[in-house]
Chains A and B, each alone.
Chain A
Amino acid sequence: METIIETILEFVEPDCEITPDSELRADCGLSSFDSVCLLDSLCEKFGKEVDETVIRECCTVQDLANLFID
C-alpha cells in the first residue's frame, strides 16, 4: 500500500492526504488520463501486466491496490 500511495503522490500535490479509502477521482482529483498513467507506473513498479481498461472499475485507492497486492 505504501508503494501505491507513494506513486499516487507523483500525480498530485505532495501534501494531499491519501488513505486506502480515498476515491481516486473525487478525493485525489485524478483524471482518466492520470489514472491510466498511474496504472502504467504501478505496473512497472510491481512488474505486473494489467489491462488499462480495468482502471475504470477502480473507485478507491484500495480497489487499485487490489490489482497489485495479493
Chain B
Amino acid sequence: MSTKTLANGKTVETYPLTQAQRFMFFVWKQFSANSPFLFLGSGYYWKDDFRPDLLKEALEEAIARCDALRIRYTMENVNGNMQVMQYLLDTAETEVEDVDLSDMPYEESYEIIKGWTKEVIPIFDCPLNTVRIVRLADGLNGFYLKLNHLSFDGYALKAFIVDTMAIYLHKKCGTPYPKPMRSYYDAMMEEFKYLDSDQRKADRAYWMQHFSTMSEPIFNDYLIEGNRLKKAREEHPDQRFISLYEGDHPETRTLTYELSKEDSDLIMDLCKGKNLSVPCVLMLGLRTALSAFNDNQEDVSFKFMINRRGSLLSKKAYGNRWHFYSLRTIIPPELTFEQAVAEVEKVQSTIFKHCNFDTLEMYQVKHLAMKQGAITNAGTASYDSMTFSYHAPQEVPCENEAVKATCIGVWYPTDFSAQNLYLTIKHRANDNGFEFIFDYRISENSLEDLKVLYPKIVKAIMEGVRNPQITMGEILDIIKL
C-alpha cells in the first residue's frame, strides 16, 4: 500500500488491483486496448405512475451506498515499474442526469443508448461511471447505467439495480428500506489476504497436481462446416487443440433468444424438485450440443465464469470478482440426464473449492504442469471453443405484479469482446424466463452455425427435463445434426 496526493490536496491510500481486476485489465490491454471493452451498459425500465423525483433521490442514495462507484484507477511507479493502482474517493462524484428519449421509437433510443455505452472514456484519475434517468417511448421509464468493468461485474451491476429499486419503492410505497450494503474495502482486503494464505498454497498444489496428471482434453467446435479441429487434423491427425484467433478483430454482435416462460419454469421446477443446480442443467445442455457437433464426443470442455459470491460480504460489496475456469466433463452415453447433471455438478464443485486461485496464475500453473498439446504452442491455443456464464436471478423489488409484467432489463453491448463466443444465460425481468445471449466475434463465426447451436442446447435440456431418466446417448440421437 502507498499514498497519492490528489489535485485537491487530499492524500489517499492506493492499493494494487485484485487478481480478478488484474485479469480484466490484462485482457483489455492484450486484446482490445482501444475498445470499449471495459464498460458495462445496462438499463432497467418499467411502466408505473412514474416519480422521477423519487427515482433521482433513490439513485443518489444507492450511489452513496455503493463503495465501488468511489473507486478510481491510477498509474504509479512501484519499485521502478509503472503499475495500475486503485484508490477510494470520499464520494462517488457521480451526478444523476435525466434524459428524455420518449419522442422516438424504442429501437432508435436503443441505438442512442448503446452509443453511450460504446463511447470510450479515459480510465485513470477521472470519473468512470454514468447514471441516467431515462424516459422511453410508450410510457417506459427507468434508468441507465454505464459502469466500469474493473469495478463491477454483472452480479454487482444487478445488485445496484436491486438496491436502487428497493429504495425507490420505499420512498414511493413505504416498503422496508433495504439492508446496508457491505464495504468494498473489506472485500478487497479479503482478496489480498488470500494471496498470502496457506489456502492459496493448497489451491496451487491442487491445480499443479490436477494439470500434471490429467489426460489431454480435446477441442469441441461449435462451428459445423468450418470445424477447426477437423481441418487441423487433416495435417496433424492427433491434434486436440486449436489456435484461436483472438487478437486483431474483437468486433462482436449479439444473438438473443428467449426461452418461453413455460419451458423455463419446467427447468426451474425440476431443479427445485430434485435438488439440482440450475447452471449445471444449462451447462449440460451446452456440453451435449457441443458433443453432438463433434461426432458425439464424450470429452467436452468450455470456459465458464465464476463470480465467487459466497459470503454476504462478497455478495454485497460490489466489485469485479470474475475468475474463468475450464469446465471439462467426460460423460459416457449410458449415463442418465440426472446422473449427468450430477457429474457436471461434481466437477463444478471441485473447481469452486479452488477457484480463488486466479485465472492468470492458473495459466502459469498449466504451463508448468502440462507437458503436451496446446500448452506447448502459441498463447492463443485452446481446448475451449467458447465461454459460458450464468447470471442467477437476483430478485428486483417491484410495486405489484402488473408493474412487474412491464419490467425490462436491457443489456447494451459494446460490440467488442476478448472471446470468440460468449454465451450468457440470464433471467428476464418480467417473468423470470431464460434469455440466451450469444456474443460472437463477427470475423470468426458463422451466423448460420450459431443459429443451429441454440435450438440444440434447448432441445438437449428439455428432453432431459421432461424425462430425467433418459440417457445422454438417447438425447444425442435426438439432437444429432
A residues with a Cβ closer than 8 A to B are 10-13, 23, 25-26, 31-34, 36-38, 40, 52-53, 55-56, 59
Most B CB atoms within 10 A — which of A26, A32, A33, A53?
A33
Interface pick from B305-313, B327-335, B370-378, B457-465: B305-313
Assembly CA distance A40 to B354 (angstroms): 10
Residue of B at shortest CB range from A25?
Answer: B275
| A56 touching B275 in the complex, CB below 8 Å, given contacts A32-B348, A32-B349 | yes
B342 at the interface (CB under 8 A from A): yes
| 8 tightest A-B CB contacts, nearest first | A37-B310, A36-B352, A32-B277, A52-B353, A53-B346, A52-B349, A59-B275, A34-B310
Residue of A at shortest CB range from B341?
Answer: A56
Assembly CA distance A47 to B345 (angstroms): 25
- Whether B311 lies near A11 (C-beta < 8 A) is yes
| A55 touching B349 in the complex, CB below 8 Å, given contacts A31-B392, A32-B277, A32-B280 | yes
User: What is the distance, in angstroms, from B317's C-beta to the closest C-beta of chain A?
Assistant: 14
Q: Is the contact region of chain A dominated by helix, strand, or loop, or is it mixed?
A: helix
B residues with a Cβ closer than 8 A to A are 179, 271-272, 275, 277, 279-280, 306-312, 342, 345-346, 348-350, 352-353, 392
Contacts of A38 in B (CB 8 A): 310
Contacts of B307 in A (CB 8 A): 33
**Number of cross-chain contacts by CB at 8 Å:** 54
Contacts of B309 in A (CB 8 A): 33
Assembly CA distance A55 to B315 (angstroms): 21
Most A CB atoms within 10 A — which of B279, B309, B348, B349?
B349
Can you name 9 extra interface pairs (CB under 8 A) apart from A31-B392, A32-B279? A13-B179, A13-B312, A25-B275, A32-B280, A33-B306, A33-B307, A36-B349, A37-B310, A38-B310
Could you say which of B275, B279, B312, B346 contacts A11, with CB atoms under 8 Å apart? B312
Contacts of B342 in A (CB 8 A): 56
- Whether A52 lies near B352 (C-beta < 8 A) is yes
- Whether B352 lies near A33 (C-beta < 8 A) is yes
Q: Can you name 29 A-B pairs with beta carbons within 8 Å?
A: A11-B310, A11-B311, A12-B312, A13-B312, A23-B275, A25-B271, A26-B272, A31-B277, A31-B392, A32-B277, A32-B279, A33-B306, A33-B307, A33-B309, A33-B310, A36-B349, A36-B352, A36-B353, A37-B310, A52-B349, A52-B350, A53-B345, A53-B346, A53-B349, A55-B349, A56-B342, A56-B345, A56-B349, A59-B275
Assembly CA distance A25 to B272 (angstroms): 8
- Whether B279 lies near A37 (C-beta < 8 A) is no
User: What is the distance, in angstroms, from A35's C-beta to the closest C-beta of chain B?
Assistant: 8
Most A CB atoms within 10 A — which of B275, B311, B342?
B275
- Whether A37 lies near B311 (C-beta < 8 A) is yes
Contacts of A25 in B (CB 8 A): 271-272, 275
User: What is the distance, in angstroms, from A37's C-beta to the closest C-beta of chain B?
Assistant: 3
